[in-house]
Amino acid sequence: MNKAELIQELVKQGHITQKVAKIVVDTIFEEMKQALVNGERIEIRGFGSFSIREYDGYNGRNPKTGETVKVAPKRLPFFKVGKELRDRINQAK
Amino acid sequence: MTKMDLVNSIYSKVGFSKKDSLNIVENVLEIMKSRLEEGEKIKISGFGNFIVREKKPRRGRNPQTGDQIIIEGRRILTFKPSNVLRRLLNESK
């Protein structure tokens, strides 16, 4: 499912217009993105949480050529699944 | 950031009541959760992908006793941030 399909599905169940559904979905992910950019942690009960992890730079290797490459320090979002969702996904097997 | 912050931004951006704003945020999350439960991948462009992965059963050890145990197969959820999000996080440094 992509964002357009998520919007479609929301229109189907929510008694709202396409336009409003798009604003809702865009707002949710835009706000989350902003929070992460600001270094803020996100906690959505029942779904999961996002935190920022800082990684030091290191000397890596290009596995094809064996050349040494410098990998710069970076920040990455880390997602931890919430308990409810983890159980639902695992039980649905 | 919590779910309530998302509800508040829907409230101020869309003009729904607080109650309707909460409902619509819950609807979006529930749509995502039920798709993930079915093993479907969710792709949100500009944010990232949520991917359900199957883990095979494997042999492990109880770290306390050293006994061999079988770790059962399970399904887990992973998040892969989009390149856009990765870039944003590392520009702001």
ipTM rounded to 2 decimals? 0.88
| Virtual torsion, Cα B23, A77, B73, A90, nearest 10 deg | 0
Q: Touching check for A36 and chain B: CB below 8 Å?
A: yes
Q: Do B37 and A27 touch (CB under 8 A)?
A: no
What pLDDT is stored for residue A49 in this prediction?
A: 98
Q: Do B93 and A29 touch (CB under 8 A)?
A: no
B40-74: pLDDT as tens digits: 999 999 999 999 999 999 999 988 998 999 988 89
Per the listing, tokens 């920040």 go with A75
Q: Do B89 and A29 touch (CB under 8 A)?
A: no
With 0-12 CB in 10 A as exposed, 13-18 as middle and 19+ as buried, what is B56?
A: exposed
Query: Do B50 and B32 contact (CB within 8 A), yes or no?
Result: yes
**Contacts with B, A 2-31, CB within 8 Å:** 2-3, 6, 9-10, 13-14, 16, 20, 23-25, 27-29, 31
B5-41: pLDDT as tens digits: 999 999 999 989 999 999 999 999 999 999 999 999 9
Whether the predicted pLDDT of B93 surpasses 80: no
A13-23: pLDDT as tens digits: 878 999 999 99
Query: Do B31 and B24 contact (CB within 8 A), yes or no?
Result: no
Whether the predicted pLDDT of A93 surpasses 70: no
Query: Chain A residue with minimal CA distance to B39?
Result: A89
Tell me the pTM: 0.89
Residue among A25, A27, A49 with most chain B CBs within 10 A, to mutate:
A27
Question: Cα-flanking dihedrals φ and ψ of residue A10, to 5°?
Answer: -65, -40
Token digits for A65? 């050529």
Q: How confident is the model at residue A1 (pLDDT cuts 50, 70, 90)?
A: very high
Query: Do A68 and A61 contact (CB within 8 A), yes or no?
Result: yes
CA B55 to chain centre: 17
Whether the predicted pLDDT of A92 surpasses 80: no
Contacts 24+ apart (CB under 8 A), A11-16: A13/B27, A13/B31, A14/B24, A14/B27, A16/B24
Per the listing, tokens 């707002």 go with A27
Token digits for A85? 């969702």
Q: Touching check for A83 and chain B: CB below 8 Å?
A: no
Q: How confident is the model at residue A88 (pLDDT cuts 50, 70, 90)?
A: very high
A43-87: pLDDT as tens digits: 999 999 999 999 999 999 989 998 999 988 999 999 999 999 999
